[in-house]
Structure 1
């Protein structure tokens, strides 16, 4: 996971998007209102497929609009993008933890879609893919297919040792607490004009997790990864050699934890970084290949690699 990203200023505005609407979905357990955007296809289908996109930390749902609209308009798919609780909020929210994002927010959105559509396919980008380690068993078991984009084991020693790594260390362990004492939240957007502002406890928990080889642990060091074993559906994992943050080992170790999946395929691609898959100009040809998995579960090596 990388929690700090740059979002283009003029990416997409909700008002200009066709066949989309903003909705509120109740989270599991506490019914916290989750802000979501749903893209409806032009044509109805007897076998409806819904794609749920779970975002990377430091991103917001608008970043995924180009891909969501492409899937909806060009391939007749329902698509839901949503924001985790607490992002954008410039105030203290001490109850917010990564587990809330997974077990309440992500689980609530998926549960809502299970009730409305015949098949639900989950796309997890970076931290969005990590959700499966923490999701309730009954949620993981109902997902039809999973597409992982740059989803990784984020243990610090699996990072690439470069300038991005030094920036991560600085933000997580040097200036984190002074900034949060000053602002009362994690003010990445406010101070650096990048990413999104987030609750303090999200970053504190993540800074503790990435010091552990398995990442997801409770306060006693016990693993919180039971969710991996409840994933039975096919998985396609995409990662990129030029990822700014993580080594190939980090991606492979994460994917191998889905022990019960009926079929796991990994595409190691040369270019795409950590975020560029969702940018139309960089990845349009790859989008056309990935749709075959989203709709039919096809995991054959894409033509963009074979050329």
Structure 2
């Protein structure tokens, strides 16, 4: 099965690129896969194809300034994380609502893809959400492997390199991928505040998080080198109006030695999908 590529207009005037994976039989629901920061949608292809084989329509997309949604050099992108929430996510929801008006819509957000739920103007068109390894980026609450280097990234690397280059040259630094300047500088501010995005952006955004009332299941990996339990609990604590539960997954639970923050969407983790995600999709 191949995917269909869709170029979607946004209210911000730019376009983003999405991929559509259709099941052979009647679709049970639409699963929108919202990527982690710096992880292009192509990396979720194994998982998206598997979803289609289980009878779900899967939609992946690249945020403005990443992957297939880069229409010129990334340094020219005006994107921020808030613009991803304001323009890119609603554009995907518009497309899904118009194309599959009778289908349930499930938001599956990896890392920042889970954060964006609380930053959108509305989640009324989403029926339920699954977050994966999504936690506050406040650096002192990161898991130890990341906390040991986070201070270097946020206090030295980003404020030195980004203003000079005009973007974050992640490909050259072997840290994520190239990212727009606005994304990286905004993220830096959030990661230096104990209350992360809510602490920086203020009460209006806190109320947006609180207004989300769809059921949220948070999947946490015990060996996540970036997100600690505390960081995940902090982020989901902002969703005060949503029914929530957290599921902690040990690598041994799925016959693996390691899961980590990135990679759960590759074929080798199919046992994780079958054991922990299928039931949540059907709930």
- Shorter-chain TM-score range: 0.7 to 0.9
Structure 2 partner of 1:41: 23
Q: Where in structure 2 are the equivalents of 1:63-102 lying within 5 Å?
A: 63-73=43-53, 75-88=54-67, 89=70, 90-93=73-76, 95-102=78-85
Q: 1:176 aligns with which of 146, 158, 161?
A: 158
Q: 2:280 aligns with which of 263, 275, 293?
A: 293
- In terms of fraction of residues, the more helix-rich structure is 2
RMSD: 2.0
In the alignment, does 2:88 pair up with 1:105? yes
Kept in 1: contact 2:80–2:183 (CA 8 A)? yes
* Counterpart Cα distance in 2 of 1:144 and 1:220: 26
Kept in 2: contact 1:232–1:260 (CA 8 A)? yes
What's the CA shift string for 1:102-141, capped at 9, x where partnerless? 111012112221222221100000010000121112xx12
* Counterpart Cα distance in 2 of 1:99 and 1:188: 20
* Counterpart Cα distance in 1 of 2:198 and 2:233: 20
Q: Where in structure 2 are the equivalents of 1:226-245 lying within 5 Å?
A: 226-245=207-226
In the alignment, does 2:113 pair up with 1:134? no
Give SS of 2:218's match. Answer: strand
Kept in 1: contact 2:193–2:199 (CA 8 A)? no
* Counterpart Cα distance in 2 of 1:274 and 1:133: 21
Structure 1 partner of 2:266: 279
TM-score for the superposition, normalised by structure 2: 0.88
* Counterpart Cα distance in 2 of 1:242 and 1:218: 27
**Structure 2 runs not aligned, ≥5 long:** 252-258
CA distance 1:218–1:244, shift in 2 (3 Å)? closer
Kept in 2: contact 1:141–1:230 (CA 8 A)? no
TM-score for the superposition, normalised by structure 1: 0.81
* Counterpart Cα distance in 1 of 2:77 and 2:41: 23
* Counterpart Cα distance in 2 of 1:35 and 1:287: 25
How many residue pairs match? The answer is 269
* Counterpart Cα distance in 1 of 2:178 and 2:108: 23
Kept in 1: contact 2:154–2:188 (CA 8 A)? yes
In the alignment, does 2:33 pair up with 1:57? no
Q: How far off is 1:257 after superposition?
A: 2.5
Structure 2 partner of 1:265: 245
CA distance 1:173–1:279, shift in 2 (3 Å)? same
What's the CA shift string for 1:235-277, capped at 9, x where partnerless? 111001111012211112222322222x322101123211232
Q: How far off is 1:217 after superposition?
A: 4.6
